[in-house]
Structure 1
Protein backbone atom coordinates (compact mmCIF):
# COMPACT_ATOMS: atom_id res chain seq x y z
CA UNK A 1 0.00 0.00 0.00
CA UNK A 2 2.86 2.38 0.85
CA UNK A 3 4.45 1.69 -2.54
CA UNK A 4 1.14 2.46 -4.28
CA UNK A 5 0.85 5.81 -2.45
CA UNK A 6 4.44 6.69 -3.41
CA UNK A 7 3.72 5.80 -7.03
CA UNK A 8 0.60 7.97 -7.07
CA UNK A 9 2.57 10.86 -5.53
CA UNK A 10 5.30 10.52 -8.16
CA UNK A 11 2.72 10.45 -10.97
CA UNK A 12 1.04 13.57 -9.56
CA UNK A 13 4.39 15.38 -9.34
CA UNK A 14 5.21 14.32 -12.89
CA UNK A 15 1.91 15.70 -14.19
CA UNK A 16 2.41 18.92 -12.25
CA UNK A 17 5.99 19.25 -13.50
CA UNK A 18 4.76 19.13 -17.08
CA UNK A 19 2.90 22.37 -16.45
CA UNK A 20 5.70 24.25 -14.70
CA UNK A 21 8.76 23.20 -16.69
CA UNK A 22 10.57 20.94 -14.23
CA UNK A 23 11.05 17.19 -13.96
CA UNK A 24 10.97 15.72 -10.46
CA UNK A 25 13.75 13.34 -9.61
CA UNK A 26 12.58 10.99 -6.90
CA UNK A 27 14.65 8.22 -5.37
CA UNK A 28 15.51 6.81 -1.99
CA UNK A 29 18.71 8.87 -2.07
CA UNK A 30 17.48 12.38 -2.87
CA UNK A 31 14.61 14.55 -3.99
CA UNK A 32 15.93 17.20 -6.38
CA UNK A 33 14.19 18.99 -9.17
CA UNK A 34 16.02 20.17 -12.26
CA UNK A 35 14.74 22.77 -14.72
CA UNK A 36 14.31 21.47 -18.25
CA UNK A 37 15.05 23.00 -21.61
CA UNK A 38 14.64 21.98 -25.22
CA UNK A 39 17.83 21.53 -27.22
CA UNK A 40 18.26 20.80 -30.91
CA UNK A 41 20.81 18.59 -32.62
CA UNK A 42 20.01 19.13 -36.28
CA UNK A 43 16.49 17.75 -36.74
CA UNK A 44 16.52 16.01 -33.34
CA UNK A 45 14.82 17.54 -30.30
CA UNK A 46 16.29 16.84 -26.86
CA UNK A 47 14.41 17.38 -23.60
CA UNK A 48 17.30 18.10 -21.26
CA UNK A 49 17.33 18.62 -17.54
CA UNK A 50 19.73 21.43 -16.68
CA UNK A 51 22.43 21.16 -14.01
CA UNK A 52 23.99 24.56 -13.33
CA UNK A 53 24.91 24.53 -9.65
CA UNK A 54 27.74 22.56 -8.09
CA UNK A 55 25.22 20.41 -6.16
CA UNK A 56 23.18 19.70 -9.31
CA UNK A 57 26.31 18.81 -11.30
CA UNK A 58 27.48 16.49 -8.53
CA UNK A 59 24.11 14.69 -8.45
CA UNK A 60 23.55 14.54 -12.20
CA UNK A 61 21.67 11.42 -13.25
CA UNK A 62 22.61 9.40 -10.16
CA UNK A 63 20.17 6.73 -9.00
CA UNK A 64 18.05 6.85 -12.18
CA UNK A 65 16.81 3.53 -13.44
CA UNK A 66 15.98 4.77 -16.96
CA UNK A 67 16.07 7.75 -19.24
CA UNK A 68 13.43 8.53 -21.89
CA UNK A 69 14.59 8.08 -25.53
CA UNK A 70 15.26 11.77 -26.32
CA UNK A 71 15.84 12.94 -22.77
CA UNK A 72 19.14 13.85 -21.22
CA UNK A 73 20.95 16.19 -18.88
CA UNK A 74 23.02 19.19 -19.87
CA UNK A 75 25.70 20.37 -17.46
CA UNK A 76 26.71 24.03 -17.63
CA UNK A 77 30.10 24.68 -16.07
CA UNK A 78 31.14 28.03 -14.59
CA UNK A 79 33.72 28.55 -17.37
CA UNK A 80 35.27 26.43 -20.12
CA UNK A 81 37.33 23.77 -18.36
CA UNK A 82 38.62 20.22 -18.54
CA UNK A 83 35.70 19.05 -16.37
CA UNK A 84 35.63 15.25 -16.30
CA UNK A 85 32.56 13.10 -15.73
CA UNK A 86 32.24 9.82 -13.83
CA UNK A 87 29.45 7.36 -13.11
CA UNK A 88 29.48 6.82 -9.35
CA UNK A 89 25.95 5.81 -8.25
CA UNK A 90 24.70 6.14 -11.84
CA UNK A 91 22.67 3.01 -12.51
CA UNK A 92 22.37 3.34 -16.30
CA UNK A 93 25.11 3.61 -18.94
CA UNK A 94 25.28 6.95 -20.73
CA UNK A 95 26.92 8.74 -23.64
CA UNK A 96 28.37 12.15 -22.94
CA UNK A 97 29.20 14.85 -25.48
CA UNK A 98 31.49 17.65 -24.38
CA UNK A 99 30.63 20.98 -26.00
CA UNK A 100 32.46 24.26 -26.49
CA UNK A 101 30.80 27.64 -25.70
CA UNK A 102 29.22 27.65 -29.21
CA UNK A 103 27.61 24.23 -28.72
CA UNK A 104 30.07 22.46 -31.02
CA UNK A 105 30.71 18.86 -29.98
CA UNK A 106 34.36 18.46 -28.95
CA UNK A 107 34.28 14.72 -28.29
CA UNK A 108 31.86 11.98 -27.24
CA UNK A 109 32.52 9.30 -24.64
CA UNK A 110 30.60 6.14 -23.77
CA UNK A 111 30.29 5.65 -20.00
CA UNK A 112 29.56 2.40 -18.19
CA UNK A 113 27.19 2.42 -15.23
CA UNK A 114 28.53 2.61 -11.68
CA UNK A 115 32.19 3.17 -12.50
CA UNK A 116 34.76 5.66 -11.30
CA UNK A 117 36.43 5.95 -14.72
CA UNK A 118 37.05 9.57 -15.73
CA UNK A 119 35.64 10.78 -19.06
CA UNK A 120 37.15 14.11 -20.06
CA UNK A 121 36.88 16.60 -22.91
CA UNK A 122 39.72 16.73 -25.42
CA UNK A 123 39.91 20.49 -24.73
CA UNK A 124 38.13 22.95 -22.42
CA UNK A 125 34.35 22.49 -22.52
CA UNK A 126 31.57 24.75 -21.22
CA UNK A 127 28.91 22.01 -21.45
CA UNK A 128 28.50 18.28 -21.14
CA UNK A 129 25.36 16.60 -22.51
CA UNK A 130 24.49 13.13 -21.20
CA UNK A 131 22.12 10.95 -23.20
CA UNK A 132 21.24 7.26 -23.43
CA UNK A 133 24.16 5.07 -24.56
CA UNK A 134 24.83 5.26 -28.28
CA UNK A 135 22.37 8.15 -28.79
CA UNK A 136 24.87 10.39 -30.57
CA UNK A 137 26.09 7.60 -32.83
CA UNK A 138 22.51 6.57 -33.71
CA UNK A 139 21.79 10.16 -34.75
CA UNK A 140 25.08 10.41 -36.71
CA UNK A 141 26.29 13.22 -34.44
CA UNK A 142 30.04 13.50 -33.99
CA UNK A 143 32.74 16.04 -33.15
CA UNK A 144 31.98 19.21 -35.10
CA UNK A 145 28.18 18.74 -34.91
CA UNK A 146 26.33 21.57 -33.17
CA UNK A 147 23.80 21.48 -30.32
CA UNK A 148 21.60 24.60 -30.13
CA UNK A 149 19.34 26.01 -27.43
CA UNK A 150 21.94 25.58 -24.68
CA UNK A 151 21.40 27.50 -21.45
CA UNK A 152 23.56 30.58 -20.96
CA UNK A 153 25.69 31.26 -17.90
CA UNK A 154 24.24 33.74 -15.40
CA UNK A 155 26.32 36.92 -15.39
Structure 2
Protein backbone atom coordinates (compact mmCIF):
# COMPACT_ATOMS: atom_id res chain seq x y z
CA UNK A 1 0.00 0.00 0.00
CA UNK A 2 2.73 2.45 0.99
CA UNK A 3 4.60 1.71 -2.28
CA UNK A 4 1.45 2.38 -4.33
CA UNK A 5 0.92 5.74 -2.61
CA UNK A 6 4.56 6.74 -3.17
CA UNK A 7 4.28 5.73 -6.82
CA UNK A 8 1.12 7.80 -7.21
CA UNK A 9 2.77 10.83 -5.60
CA UNK A 10 5.76 10.59 -7.92
CA UNK A 11 3.65 10.16 -11.04
CA UNK A 12 3.72 13.88 -11.78
CA UNK A 13 7.51 13.80 -12.03
CA UNK A 14 8.13 10.49 -13.77
CA UNK A 15 7.45 9.51 -17.32
CA UNK A 16 7.84 6.43 -19.40
CA UNK A 17 10.69 6.31 -21.90
CA UNK A 18 9.58 7.88 -25.15
CA UNK A 19 6.97 10.15 -23.58
CA UNK A 20 6.92 13.73 -24.88
CA UNK A 21 8.56 15.26 -21.78
CA UNK A 22 11.54 12.92 -22.15
CA UNK A 23 12.19 14.24 -25.66
CA UNK A 24 13.32 17.69 -24.52
CA UNK A 25 16.34 19.11 -22.72
CA UNK A 26 15.83 22.23 -20.65
CA UNK A 27 18.55 24.41 -19.06
CA UNK A 28 16.50 24.61 -15.84
CA UNK A 29 16.17 20.86 -15.42
CA UNK A 30 18.26 17.72 -15.34
CA UNK A 31 16.94 14.31 -16.37
CA UNK A 32 17.98 11.02 -14.80
CA UNK A 33 17.15 7.69 -16.42
CA UNK A 34 17.54 4.33 -14.69
CA UNK A 35 16.16 0.84 -15.24
CA UNK A 36 13.24 1.73 -12.94
CA UNK A 37 12.33 5.27 -13.88
CA UNK A 38 13.05 8.48 -15.69
CA UNK A 39 12.77 11.61 -13.60
CA UNK A 40 13.22 15.31 -14.19
CA UNK A 41 14.58 17.55 -11.43
CA UNK A 42 14.61 21.33 -11.43
CA UNK A 43 18.28 22.23 -11.29
CA UNK A 44 20.71 24.89 -10.19
CA UNK A 45 24.04 24.73 -11.99
CA UNK A 46 27.38 25.02 -10.19
CA UNK A 47 29.90 25.27 -13.02
CA UNK A 48 32.31 27.85 -11.61
CA UNK A 49 34.53 27.45 -8.55
CA UNK A 50 32.71 29.91 -6.24
CA UNK A 51 29.36 28.19 -6.96
CA UNK A 52 30.87 24.73 -6.48
CA UNK A 53 32.50 25.77 -3.18
CA UNK A 54 29.17 27.05 -1.81
CA UNK A 55 26.99 24.26 -3.19
CA UNK A 56 23.85 23.77 -1.10
CA UNK A 57 25.37 25.11 2.13
CA UNK A 58 23.19 27.03 4.58
CA UNK A 59 19.89 26.01 2.96
CA UNK A 60 17.06 25.17 5.32
CA UNK A 61 15.31 23.06 2.68
CA UNK A 62 15.46 21.80 -0.87
CA UNK A 63 12.31 21.36 -2.93
CA UNK A 64 11.26 17.72 -3.30
CA UNK A 65 12.43 17.48 -6.92
CA UNK A 66 15.03 20.24 -6.83
CA UNK A 67 18.74 19.60 -7.33
CA UNK A 68 22.16 21.07 -7.90
CA UNK A 69 24.39 19.86 -10.73
CA UNK A 70 28.13 20.39 -10.31
CA UNK A 71 29.83 20.55 -13.70
CA UNK A 72 33.61 20.31 -14.01
CA UNK A 73 35.65 21.29 -17.08
CA UNK A 74 37.35 17.89 -17.08
CA UNK A 75 37.16 14.71 -15.02
CA UNK A 76 38.37 15.00 -11.41
CA UNK A 77 38.83 12.89 -8.31
CA UNK A 78 35.63 13.99 -6.58
CA UNK A 79 35.65 14.49 -2.81
CA UNK A 80 32.68 16.20 -1.16
CA UNK A 81 31.75 17.05 2.43
CA UNK A 82 28.67 18.42 4.18
CA UNK A 83 30.21 21.38 6.01
CA UNK A 84 27.49 23.99 6.63
CA UNK A 85 24.98 21.84 4.75
CA UNK A 86 21.83 21.63 6.85
CA UNK A 87 19.85 18.96 4.99
CA UNK A 88 20.68 15.32 4.16
CA UNK A 89 21.65 14.83 0.53
CA UNK A 90 22.19 12.05 -1.95
CA UNK A 91 25.33 12.68 -4.00
CA UNK A 92 25.20 11.15 -7.47
CA UNK A 93 28.61 10.99 -9.19
CA UNK A 94 28.84 10.60 -12.97
CA UNK A 95 31.65 10.18 -15.47
CA UNK A 96 32.17 12.30 -18.64
CA UNK A 97 29.39 10.37 -20.43
CA UNK A 98 26.91 11.23 -17.67
CA UNK A 99 26.81 7.61 -16.50
CA UNK A 100 26.41 7.27 -12.73
CA UNK A 101 29.44 5.61 -11.17
CA UNK A 102 28.57 6.02 -7.49
CA UNK A 103 25.78 7.20 -5.22
CA UNK A 104 26.39 8.31 -1.66
CA UNK A 105 23.01 8.18 0.07
CA UNK A 106 21.79 10.34 2.92
CA UNK A 107 25.02 12.24 3.57
CA UNK A 108 24.80 13.48 7.15
CA UNK A 109 24.21 17.24 7.53
CA UNK A 110 27.11 19.31 8.92
CA UNK A 111 29.54 16.38 8.71
CA UNK A 112 33.18 17.08 7.88
CA UNK A 113 33.69 13.49 6.70
CA UNK A 114 35.19 13.39 3.22
CA UNK A 115 32.95 11.45 0.85
CA UNK A 116 34.83 10.12 -2.14
CA UNK A 117 32.97 9.88 -5.40
CA UNK A 118 35.88 8.30 -7.22
CA UNK A 119 38.12 9.19 -10.12
CA UNK A 120 36.95 10.26 -13.57
CA UNK A 121 33.99 12.25 -12.20
CA UNK A 122 32.82 15.20 -14.28
CA UNK A 123 29.29 15.68 -12.94
CA UNK A 124 27.82 15.48 -9.46
CA UNK A 125 24.09 15.76 -8.88
CA UNK A 126 22.86 16.50 -5.36
CA UNK A 127 19.25 15.72 -4.47
CA UNK A 128 17.30 15.25 -1.25
CA UNK A 129 18.60 12.43 0.91
CA UNK A 130 16.91 9.07 0.31
CA UNK A 131 15.35 10.05 -3.00
CA UNK A 132 17.88 8.20 -5.19
CA UNK A 133 16.98 4.88 -3.58
CA UNK A 134 13.24 5.54 -3.81
CA UNK A 135 13.58 6.37 -7.52
CA UNK A 136 15.98 3.54 -8.33
CA UNK A 137 18.88 5.84 -9.20
CA UNK A 138 22.14 3.93 -8.86
CA UNK A 139 25.26 2.93 -10.74
CA UNK A 140 24.57 2.72 -14.45
CA UNK A 141 21.80 5.35 -14.48
CA UNK A 142 22.44 8.26 -16.87
CA UNK A 143 22.13 12.03 -16.54
CA UNK A 144 21.13 14.48 -19.26
CA UNK A 145 21.50 18.28 -19.33
CA UNK A 146 22.27 20.71 -22.17
CA UNK A 147 25.54 21.89 -20.53
CA UNK A 148 26.97 18.38 -20.56
CA UNK A 149 29.31 17.48 -23.41
CA UNK A 150 26.76 16.13 -25.90
CA UNK A 151 29.42 14.47 -28.07
CA UNK A 152 30.37 12.20 -25.15
CA UNK A 153 26.93 11.83 -23.55
CA UNK A 154 25.50 8.35 -23.02
CA UNK A 155 22.06 10.03 -23.21
CA UNK A 156 22.47 13.18 -25.32
CA UNK A 157 19.94 15.95 -25.61
CA UNK A 158 18.01 15.87 -28.87
CA UNK A 159 19.10 18.34 -31.51
CA UNK A 160 17.11 21.58 -31.54
CA UNK A 161 15.46 20.63 -34.82
CA UNK A 162 14.37 17.27 -33.45
CA UNK A 163 12.43 18.97 -30.63
CA UNK A 164 10.06 20.56 -33.10
CA UNK A 165 9.05 17.25 -34.70
C-alpha distance after superposition, 1:82-121 (max 9, x if no partner) = 1211111111110000011111001000210001111112
Superposition pairs of residues 23-34 of structure 1, within 5 angstroms: none
Would you say the 8 A contact 1:70–1:131 is kept in 2?
yes
Alignment TM-score, normalising by the size of structure 1: 0.72
The structure, 1 or 2, with the larger RCO (C-alpha pairs under 8 Å, 6+ apart) is: 2
Using the alignment, how far apart are the partners of 2:48 and 2:125 within structure 1?
A: 15
Question: CA RMSD for the aligned pairs?
Answer: 1.4
1: CA distance, partners of 2:51 / 2:146: 16
Match of 2:136 among 115, 131, 140: 140
1:95 maps onto 2:86 in alignment: no
2:110 aligns with one of 87, 95, 114: 114
Aligned mates of 1:53, 1:76 — CA distance in 2: 8
Runs of 4+ in 1 over 6 A off after TM superposition: none
Is the Cα contact below 8 Å between 1:82 and 1:124 reproduced in 2? yes
Equivalent position SS for 1:61: coil
With structure 2 as the length reference, what TM-score do the two structures score?
0.68
Contact 1:103 1:150 in 2 (8 A): no
Question: Structure 2: 5+ residue runs without aligned partners?
Answer: 1-26, 150-165
Deviations 1:23-58 (A, max 9, x none): xxxxxxxxxxxxx62111132111110001110000
Q: From 98, 101, 105, give the equivalent of 2:100.
A: 105
2:36 maps to 1:41: no
Query: Which position in structure 1 is the counterpart of 2:123?
Result: 127
| Structure 1 residue runs without a partner (length 5+) | 1-35
For 2:115, what is the secondary structure of its paired residue? coil
SS in 2 for 1:121: strand
| Contact 2:78-2:118 at 8 Å conserved across structures | no
Q: Determine helix, strand or coil for the equivalent of 1:57.
A: helix
Aligned residues: 118
Measured after TM superposition, the shift of residue 150 of structure 1 is 5.1
